[in-house]
Amino acid sequence: MVHRSRSSSSSSSSSSSSSSSSDSDTTREHWWLRKKKTKHAGNNAASRLTASTAKLLLLTAAQRVLPSTPMTSNGQPSENSRLLSSRRDQDTENQAPTACESNPKVRGVVWSALTSVFVAAVILLVGFERVFGDAFAPWLGKLPKDPFLAALAILDKAPVIDGHIDLPILVRARYANNASAVDLESEMPGHVDIPRLRKGKVGGFFWSVYVSCPDPGKEGKDFLGGTWRVRDTLEQIDVSKLLISNYPDTFALALNVEDIKKAIVGGKIASLLGVEGGHQLGNSIAVLRQYHALGVRYVTLTHTCHNAFADSCGYLPGIIPLHGGLSELGRSLINEMNRLGVLVDLSHTSDATAKQAILHSKAPVIWSHSSARAVHDVPRNVPDDILQLIGHGEGKDAVVMVNFAPFFVAEPNNATVKAVADHVDHIAQVAGKQHVGLGSDFDGIGDVPVGLEDVSKYPALIAELYSRGWNKYELAGLTGGNLLRVFEGAEKVALDLQAAGTPPVFDLYDKRTDIPRGHSEL
């Protein structure tokens, strides 16, 4: 979420298919579950499909026209005839011959007609592909030439899983968290509602249970002043889960990758929870465990303020570091996040925090809503030297989910869908296309890029990237597959740590004086 707009606030762990799945299940399989194919392989597949279709038509025609039992020229069974015929074969033999079987001329006419129809269809599809291509593309296993139609086809198979949507804070500001007063099936005042989610082909998103950084004067330099941030976070978790449960035909609470896949395959929108800032933990790793138990699956280490765990990048340049990156308690926090399977989110963190977290975390990491600093130089965006630590080569597996906030995308009045695509392209070039995703920040930003005005507009971005040469498998990774891989990686690390008997982390913030540190203090 963009800090300056907070005051107003108006603005699927294992594969879902197994080796025992039927062929029909495989044909419906989402692209993120399938291996990436090269362009050459895709063309070969289309060619094989066309050839198979032709063979099927020819065989069908032959079966209709020719006798079912192989015969010699004198009408006797040939050496290829079956030795033992079934009752069905005997019944068939007792039936009167059809017109085609008894009259060679009729058979020839039917054969010629079918052949002519098939040849004409091939000529139309091959010779007039530009005219009929989009209409017949699905039949040939191809995408439409029109980028927008291609984007819709891709999103039907690989819907968007957005890393960061701020609907809960809008509900807090506009409706005082009264979930019964919110009608998500009608047009909402922000960027998100059910009709627009459906139009935008959204298959899932993280509901950000954000509350703002506390007043420094009340919190104090050691973060010990009472600020009610844990209470407020619990309220945001509560309203998010209430809204999810109010629309069971649309939303499904997701706690892991398998839940995400199950929701999407079932036509629902997978709904995950993310905490946007370590200041919401109350300096306590125990609070993290309780958030996890309530369904939280990522924690952003900082927002625009430093906290007891890590340094923030702030909002504008010039924030003075406090810890020089992670504090010791911050390293312990990441250890516990790894053990639980909570994703480490590095959006909003300082460069030092991000670098140290990448090296310290045993699990893959994410940026839930950040763009590329080389494209637009603001502290909130990820610089190239950090992008080079992930992806290509021996880098940490990670996904950077591109933010749509105009202030992070381009100079004033220059934020467009093309500008957002530039960020996607740049991250892909530096880290690899397997390490970029989408984290719009919708409902947390006061302004939007031209062409990406709300959640219904995701297809415009996919169309832009398709026109730039991204193929359907790369785009399926961008829309959600890359996040699922990273999330699955974090789940595996958690399972391994738990299987090894790794105990929970009990480290306490060293500046706390309200809790005994040993038996002598009881």
Active site residues: 164, 166, 276, 303, 348, 369, 441
CA atoms of 450 and 406, how far apart (whole Å): 9
Q: Which two tokens stand for residue 503?
A: 């105990």
3-state SS, one letter per residue, for 289-350: HHHHHCCEEEEECCCCCCCCCECECCCCCCCCCCCCCECHHHHHHHHHHHHHCCEEECCCEC
Centre a 10 Å sphere on the Cβ of residue 163 and count the other Cβ atoms it contains: 32
DSSP state of 450: B
Measured distance CA(58)–CA(61) in Å, rounded = 5
- DSSP codes joined into one string, 19-68: TT--HHHHHT--GGGS----HHHHHHHHHHHHHHHHHHHHHHHHHHHS-S
**From residue 269, how far is each of 78, 241, 245, 410, 483 by CA, in Å?**
60, 13, 12, 30, 15
CA 356/CA 343 separation, integer angstroms: 15
Which residue, 31, 15, 130, is CA-closest to 470?
A: 31
- What amino acid is encoded at 277 in this protein? G
Distance, C-alpha 392 to centroid of its chain: 20
**Helix (H) or strand (E) run with residue 219 in it:** helix 216-219
What backbone phi and psi angles, to 5 degrees, belong to 442?
Answer: -55, 145
Q: Is 374 exposed, middle or buried (0-12, 13-18, 19+ CB in 10 A)?
A: middle
The backbone torsions φ and ψ at residue 69, rounded to the nearest 5 degrees and listed phi first, read -105, 125
Question: d(Cα 442, Cα 446) in Å, to the nearest integer?
Answer: 9
Residue 367 in 3-state DSSP? strand
CA neighbor of 125 nearest in space, from 196, 47, 60: 47
Contact assessment for residue 271 and residue 248, using Cβ atoms and an 8 Å cutoff: no
Report helix, strand or coil for 485: helix
Of 454, 472, 503, the closest CA to residue 147 belongs to 472
User: How far lies 390's CA from each of 163, 265, 384, 439, 486, in Å?
Assistant: 18, 30, 10, 18, 12
**Rounded CA separation 104/460 (Å):** 57
Provide the residue type at 445 as one letter.
I
